[in-house]
Amino acid sequence: MASARKRRKQRRRVRTLGDCLRQFLTPAVWKQGQKAIGRPWQASRWRIKPLLVTLLLMTFACGDSQEERFESARAVVVALQPKRRRPGETLPGFQLALARLPMRVLRAVIAGVRARLPQALAGRWQTNGFVVLGCDGSRLECVRIPALEARLGEAGKSDSAPSIWLTALVHLATGVPCAWRFGKGTASERDHLKHLLGTLPAMALIVCDAGYVGFDLCRQIMASGADFLIRMSSTVTLYTEQEKPLTQYREGIVYYWPDAAQKRDDSPLQLRLLRVVGKRKAGADPYDVWMLTSVLSKRRLPFSRASQWYRWRWENEGYFRTYKRTLSMVKLTSRKVSLVHREAEGSMLAAQLLLATTAMELSSTQQPDAKASPRQALREFRREFRYLASCRRREPLGQRLSRAVRERRPDRTSPKATRVWPRRGPHKPPKPPKILTLDKLKRPLKPAFKRAA
């Protein structure tokens, strides 16, 4: 009773943006990140805490360029800590300090925030004894510059822009991302999931589409203590003890034992196959959904619940839409390899904080099963930006406009195109005009024109 009263009291204290961030970025989390650095921090104007908070708030800020978002995020950081020493004022200085920050510091902070998710989402963390997580991936484009093209290479179509691949585990009951991994644009999402198995919580159930089918992956998921629910395709061969027509099949025990596993003398996997009959629509062929799960007990995972949880997988697709469109992360804007990694990790942490904070506040209202609206939550965050930034003293507008001077450059003497761009035809400069004498005219000149000539 006392603990419940204490939680309600803590929830009532969430009034500002700083309160929302401090729910997850606690002093213990910052201490964990400070410990991961392993050496004295050299940046004089940028301490670790304002540096990372500015990186997170740049994901929420409005602006068409990094300079605009940086100014807005820095102003909020200064307003949140008015008695602390102010950080640097320029974007290049911020980027230099961020590039010197080891990635293990950022990952330590991410791990600390992830450890607080079960407590923050306590009411909706487990669903019927499982922590239902969806796994999927998406590709993010980067700026087309030689350094990133040489490091990241092409992905997808030829002459495509450099890109990175993001694989994310999303809590399907709330839509909050739990863990993620980045790689090159040609990375394997199955390998990413194998690396993410160490971050899975207890009683995890991974829901995936047919792209995650694989004997080794299924065996590693089961060895980690988790369960899975994966959609099947015609590329998979399963074995049963009794033959049954596919049109009459509903669910049963099967054995997953591909030829490669048989040659290695690996033991077959005993799994459970489910068939959800598709709806019959006029003028269209029906299609059935076949799912394979490691939960053999019908009591732990009934047929109807498995079908419902696979439909929840669209929450994972919705998260990528939130991340890429709502937060405008469809294309990363950093122009250095080190900054691309930090921008990607920081933006994912910012999206996690945005959705986790909103889901935590929704769970304390009268509608605990309500889903958070990322667009409305982002709008409230930006409104809080305006409240905090308006409290600061500013110079007069005319004085600021007097410094809005265009950069002086020497007159251009070289071609505009500095390099050959893929998927774009080579630029051909216009040729000189043809100059002929008047006696080459096919028509006779008019008298007035002849006198003028």
Taking the C-alpha atoms of residue 232 and residue 244, their distance in angstroms, rounded to an integer, is: 17
**pLDDT band at residue 243 using 50, 70 and 90 as cut-offs:** confident
Tell the burial category of 59 from Cβ atoms under 10 Å away from its Cβ (0-12, 13-18, 19+). buried
Looking at residue 401, what is its pLDDT?
A: 67
Higher pLDDT, 285 or 432: 432
Task: Specify whether the CB–CB gap between 203 and 256 falls below 8 A.
Answer: no
Q: What is the mean pLDDT of residues 385-408?
A: 71
**Sequential DSSP letters for 2-62:** HHHHHHHHHHHT--SHHHHHHHHS-HHHHHHHHHHH-S----SS--HHHHHHHHHHHHHS-
Taking the C-alpha atoms of residue 92 and residue 158, their distance in angstroms, rounded to an integer, is: 33
- Is position 216 within any domain? no
Q: pLDDT, tens digit, for every residue of 80-116?
A: 988 888 999 999 999 999 999 999 999 999 999 999 9
**pLDDT band at residue 204 using 50, 70 and 90 as cut-offs:** very high
Q: Is the pLDDT score of 13 beyond 70? A: no
In residues, how long is the chain? 453
Task: Specify whether the CB–CB gap between 148 and 337 falls below 8 A.
Answer: yes
Classify the C-alpha dihedral 415-420-422-427 as positive or negative. positive
Task: Specify whether the CB–CB gap between 250 and 275 falls below 8 A.
Answer: yes
Classify the C-alpha dihedral 114-118-123-125 as positive or negative. positive
What's the domain range around 145? 2-209+313-390
Largest CA distance in the chain: 109
What the block records as the tokens of 190 is: 């199955």
Q: What is the mean pLDDT of the chain?
A: 87
Could you tell me what percent of the chain has a pLDDT over 90? 63
Looking at residue 6, what is its pLDDT?
A: 52
Q: What is the mean pLDDT of residues 337-354?
A: 96
Q: pLDDT, tens digit, for every residue of 392-402?
A: 556 776 776 66
Looking at residue 431, what is its pLDDT?
A: 81
- Is position 59 within any domain? yes
- Between the two ends of the chain, the Cα-to-Cα distance in Å is 105
Q: Cα dist. 111→20, 67, 251, 327, 429 in Å?
A: 18, 29, 39, 22, 55
Q: Is the pLDDT score of 349 beyond 80? A: yes
Q: What is the mean pLDDT of residues 3-10?
A: 53
Taking the C-alpha atoms of residue 429 and residue 227, their distance in angstroms, rounded to an integer, is: 62
Q: What is the DSSP letter of 277?
A: P
List Cβ neighbours of 62 (8 Å cut-off, separation of 6 or more): 68, 69, 72, 382
Say how far residue 438 (Cα) sits from the centre of its chain: 68
Task: Specify whether the CB–CB gap between 368 and 359 falls below 8 A.
Answer: no
Q: Cα dist. 67→213, 232, 284, 333, 405 in Å?
A: 44, 47, 52, 11, 16
**Sequential DSSP letters for 391-420:** TS----HHHHHTT--PPP-PPP-S-S--SP
Looking at residue 366, what is its pLDDT?
A: 56
What the block records as the tokens of 367 is: 């509608």
Using alpha carbons only, what angle is made at residue 173 by residues 170 and 174, rounded to the nearest 5 degrees? 70
Q: Cα dist. 355→197, 344, 359 in Å?
A: 22, 17, 6
Q: Is the pLDDT score of 411 beyond 90? A: no
Q: pLDDT, tens digit, for every residue of 46-84?
A: 999 999 999 999 999 998 899 999 999 999 999 998 888
Taking the C-alpha atoms of residue 380 and residue 359, their distance in angstroms, rounded to an integer, is: 14
Looking at residue 225, what is its pLDDT?
A: 96
Q: Is the pLDDT score of 369 beyond 80? A: no
Looking at residue 109, what is its pLDDT?
A: 97
Q: What is the mean pLDDT of residues 419-429?
A: 71
**pLDDT band at residue 415 using 50, 70 and 90 as cut-offs:** low
**pLDDT band at residue 123 using 50, 70 and 90 as cut-offs:** confident
Looking at residue 99, what is its pLDDT?
A: 94
Could you tell me what percent of the chain has a pLDDT over 70? 84
Classify the C-alpha dihedral 146-152-157-158 as positive or negative. positive
Q: pLDDT, tens digit, for every residue of 147-188?
A: 999 999 888 778 888 999 999 999 999 999 999 999 999 999
Higher pLDDT, 38 or 62: 62
Taking the C-alpha atoms of residue 178 and residue 171, their distance in angstroms, rounded to an integer, is: 6
In three-state secondary structure terms, 205 is strand
Looking at residue 429, what is its pLDDT?
A: 72
Question: Among 109, 126, 175, which residue's Cα sits nearest to residue 357?
Answer: 175
Taking the C-alpha atoms of residue 174 and residue 43, their distance in angstroms, rounded to an integer, is: 38
> Domain tally for the chain?
1
- Is position 235 within any domain? no
Question: Among 74, 62, 12, which residue's Cα sits nearest to residue 388?
Answer: 74
Q: pLDDT, tens digit, for every residue of 272-299?
A: 999 998 877 666 666 889 999 999 999 9
- Is position 275 within any domain? no
In this prediction the pTM is 0.87
